[in-house]
A and B are shown apart, each in its own frame.
Chain A
């Protein structure tokens, strides 16, 4: 069995702090820990493995530059890095995506996301965060949950969600907005 280094055992915030110090072992541990989530979200939004690879690499560079500005009070490291990933991926598809995304791709995304169980390869903290978000998604109506996943994880515009779900644009926006609000309320109640 491979030896687990001290860097691999460090918590996310400590790894991020170490990344800013250019420690090669810490940097490697940081990339290993987050690359699956970063690449996964980048693929979900771009639907293009090569572009997702560029996006994911860009994300780690941005994180490295911004490590000193991370504020633990505002978001977990996982949420922070996934927000950076989403922004970078949306930027990338805005420049490149010209055609509507294949429905089969979105069907697979919905299945993988809403039907997912968390991976035991993940750290406990990441698993807990993922489970909490999944619980909140499952508390929504299936229509709202699909709209939220397509918009946030699939990078779809409200118009694309409407087309995919065969509903008017206004209904798509209402489902996304209401779903997001209810999800936030559910997660806040979880914390209480």
Chain B
């Protein structure tokens, strides 16, 4: 658990530990304490002035939409570091497991799976998809906005799209902890929220789901872990 909190756990150990944390409340609490303690130490890091021109480079990168002007650094998954740990769904409703197929076909299959879950949770918004014999083709209108976790890492994206029944959101997770379950929650313009599905990440990437857009639109999409923590958010 210490290695995981420090960000050094190798992949098999990380997966084992994160799976255990998802199921074990005392260990999850101990992990959260470790992660909090690590955060408390960070302000003692030495202050060092970066090279001249650094701030200009950063501002240029931000003005350019966030593309770094220097080299870029790789990103590890949220399960590899001292960030809030997602929990299992507890006594929540049934779970759709993404089917490991690729490309557009995968998206369509998952849309049906998500629709079935929508019925299970009684959200209603997904019901239309579940009744189809043949899933309709779905097109994305844009690349999507980033779905970012509490630590600021981009873990996926949400794009507007359209199928035969109207506008949809295409939720994509590129970098998530395998075996974890999340509730997909829509934040509506009036501030209310609507849960539209509960999904488990299978470690295959990317995982994608399609969610019909309710009347009035959506302000944000949140992926919420079993303990109610918002793991990642995409804001329109």
Contact = CB atoms under 8 A, between A and B. Distances in A.
Interface of A: 22, 24, 27-28, 31-32, 35-37, 39-41, 43-44, 49, 51, 53-66, 68-69, 71, 74-75, 78-80, 82-84, 86-92, 94-95, 109, 112-113, 116, 119, 122, 126, 129-130, 132-134, 136-137, 148-149, 151-153, 157-158, 173, 176-177, 180-181, 183-184, 187
Contact of A66 (B63, B74, B152): B152
B82 A83 contact: yes
A95 B3 CA distance: 17
Interface string B1-44: 01100111000000000000000000000000110111111111
Contact of A60 (B3, B37, B58): B58
Contacts of A71: 150
Interface of chain A, main secondary structure: helix
Nearest to B146: A65
Contacts of A82: 39, 42-43, 45
Contacts, number: 219
Contact of A184 (B2, B8, B36, B61): B36
Given A54-B70, A116-B44, A133-B44, A176 B58 contact: no
A179 to B, nearest CB: 9
A57 B48 contact: no
A80 B2 CA distance: 20
9 contacts: A35-B49, A53-B70, A54-B72, A65-B148, A65-B154, A66-B152, A79-B43, A86-B7, A133-B44
Contacts of A91: 7, 73-76
Contacts of B69: 57
A64 B62 contact: yes
A39 B52 CA distance: 12
Contacts of A119: 47
Nearest to A114: B44
Nearest to B71: A54
Contacts of A95: 73-74
Contacts of B81: 86-87, 90
Contacts of B233: 68-69
Most buried by B among A65, A74, A90: A65
